[in-house]
Structure 1
Amino acid sequence: MEMSAIPASLVAPVEVSAEAYCELGLMHASGRAGAVNLVKAQTWFNIAFARGSARAAAHRQELALEMSRDEIAEALREARTFLTRH
């Protein structure tokens, strides 16, 4: 089947909600996504916060207490990169 035969509504990317990004952060913070990864968790919380999740803001602040400045900076860089591409 050619791409032109598929309706655009089925091909266009679906906008991911801020709460879905927040959930990704929780998965990385708790280890539900494999090993606990605070930088990845903080990255997703930053993205969720930027997209309007108030819940992510609270998680982001709480997690920052357990992270080094370098880890926080890395998470911010990764979030910025993601947000500029998506």
Structure 2
Amino acid sequence: MMAKLDTKYVNKYLQSADEGVADDQFRAGLLFSTGDGVSQDLVTAHKWFNLAAMNGIEEARENRAEISLDMSAQEIAKAQKMAREWIMGR
């Protein structure tokens, strides 16, 4: 069993993701998709994978497609709206 990430590292990744660092947007997607150090939340994971993909992280596209299979159309629409709102807030 893998150890959960330390809260300090989780917060660092999330802050960096929110500042627009593509690698950490991808990491944030991983955290939320797996529930490592945070509550699992596929909508939030999709948002971060979407933003990371827009910033050139190819693997984020693959992860986004994979988790989309476990999401409803409404959840995907919500995640896309969250990503747009994040971009508009920049």
Q: What TM-score, normalized to structure 1?
A: 0.78
Q: Which residue of 1 aligns with 2:44?
A: 40
- Quick check: which has more Rg, 1 or 2? 1
Identity of aligned residues (%): 34
2:55 is aligned, of 51, 54, 60, to 51
For the aligned residue pairs, the C-alpha RMSD in angstroms reads 1.5
- How many angstroms does 1:33 deviate by? 3.4
**Which runs of 5 or more structure 2 residues have no equivalent in the other structure?**
1-15
Aligned residue identity for 1:37? D
Aligned residue identity for 2:70? E
Can you list the C-alpha shifts for 1:14-54, whole angstroms capped at 9, x where unaligned?
86421110100000011013221000000100111111110
SS of 2:70's equivalent? coil
1:81 aligns with 2:85: yes
Asked which structure has the greater RCO (Cα within 8 Å, sep 6+), the reply is 1
Q: What TM-score, normalized to structure 2?
A: 0.75
**Which runs of 5 or more structure 1 residues have no equivalent in the other structure?**
1-13
Equivalenced residue count is 73
1:28 aligns with 2:32: yes
